[in-house]
Each structure stands twice: as C-alpha cells, then as structure tokens.
C-alpha cells in the first residue's frame, strides 16, 4: 500500500460524503487553483447563532484536494464561524495524515482557502439569510 495515497484519501476521493450542492443554502463561495485548474465551490447553511448546520462542496480536482475538502466539511459541521476561522493548515494536514510538498500543499489547502475567503468576506450573517 502506498503510504501517501492512504486508504482514507482514496476512499474520500471515490466516495465523498459531503460532495454536492446544498439547496437551499445561505452561503456559497468558489475559487480555483490556477496552477492545475482544480475548482471548488462550498455551500453552507449557517444559523442565526453563526453555527454551521450543513455543508457541501462541488467542483473537480485531484484526490488530495477532493479528500481534504470532504474531511474539512466533516470537521466544520456543528462548529461556529469563529471556530472555523481558527482552522489552520496544520488541521488539514492532520486530517489527511500525510506530509505534503509545496505543490501538493496548494491542492490540500484549496478548500480551506475557499472557505476562509468566503467567511471573512461575508462578515456577520444577516438575520433573514440565517433563517433559511
């Protein structure tokens, strides 16, 4: 067995739990890694207490980027926005359980980048949006 492509990573790539789009959702943000064309969109439902109640991601990319997105969403469901803001690169690497070079690190961190760019961008969630 390949120690890089751990079973967890292959499994989450082939059978992601959080892949898809949320309908309805009150948060959506997307971005891509221009180096490889990997593209990720993240949909969230955030309640009025700033708690993430549900999450899904869509797009395409390598096993590392897709598996890390799936694992990231698993981690943030049930957390509030401040807790999500505190998630770091190390959290992702811990979830993946592998060492990454600088190129593949970008793949692994794409979903976190999308999530953070989105969350810092929206600031406080509007009351009416939070009721969705």
Partner 1 sequence: MGLDVKKIKSDFPILAREIRNGIPLVYLDSAATSQKPQVVIDAMTKYYQFSNANIHRGVHTLAEEATGMYEDVRKKVANFINAKSEKEIIYTRNTTESINLVAQTWGKTNLEEGDIIVLTEMEHHSNLVPWQMLAAEKHLNLEFVTVTDDGLLNLQVYKELLEKSPKLVSFTHMSNVLGTINPVKEMINLAHQAGALTMIDGAQSVPHFPVDVRDLDADFYAFSAHKMLGPTGFGILYGKEKLLDAMPPFMGGGDMIKKVLLRSFKPNDLPHKFEAGTPAIAEAVGLGAAIDYLQALGMDNIALHEHELTNYAFQKLSEIENLIIFGKNNNRGGVIAFELGIIHPHDVAQILDRHGIAIRAGHHCAMPLHEKFGIPATSRASFYLYNSYEDVDRLVEGINIASDLFG
Q: d(Cα 60, Cα 20) in Å, to the nearest integer?
A: 11
Q: d(Cα 32, Cα 59) in Å, to the nearest integer?
A: 9
Q: d(Cα 63, Cα 107) in Å, to the nearest integer?
A: 9
Only segment of 30-38, 44-52, 85-93, 119-127 that touches partner 1 (CB under 8 A): 30-38
Q: Binding to partner 1 by residue 35, rule CB under 8 A?
A: yes
Q: Binding to partner 1 by residue 2, rule CB under 8 A?
A: yes
Residue with the two structure tokens 């509007």:
126
Q: Binding to partner 1 by residue 64, rule CB under 8 A?
A: yes
| DSSP bridge partners of 117 | none
Residue 62 or residue 93: which is nearer to partner 1 going by CB? 62
Residues that bind partner 1 (CB under 8 A): 2, 4-5, 10, 13-14, 35-39, 60-64, 104, 107
């Amino acid at each position: 067995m390949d120690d890089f492509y751990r079973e967890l990573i292959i499994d989450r790539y082939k059978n992601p739990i959080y892949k898809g789009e949320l309908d309805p959702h009150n948060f959506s943000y997307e971005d891509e890694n221009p180096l490889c064309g990997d593209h990720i969109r993240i949909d969230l439902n955030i309640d009025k207490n700033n708690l993430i109640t549900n999450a899904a991601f869509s797009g395409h990319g390598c096993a590392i980027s897709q598996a890390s997105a799936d694992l990231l969403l698993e981690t943030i469901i049930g957390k509030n926005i401040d807790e999500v803001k505190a998630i770091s690169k190390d959290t992702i690497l811990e979830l993946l359980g592998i060492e990454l070079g600088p190129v593949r690190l970008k793949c692994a961190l794409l979903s976190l980048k999308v999530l953070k760019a989105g969350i810092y961008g929206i600031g406080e969630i509007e009351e009416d949006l939070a009721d969705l």
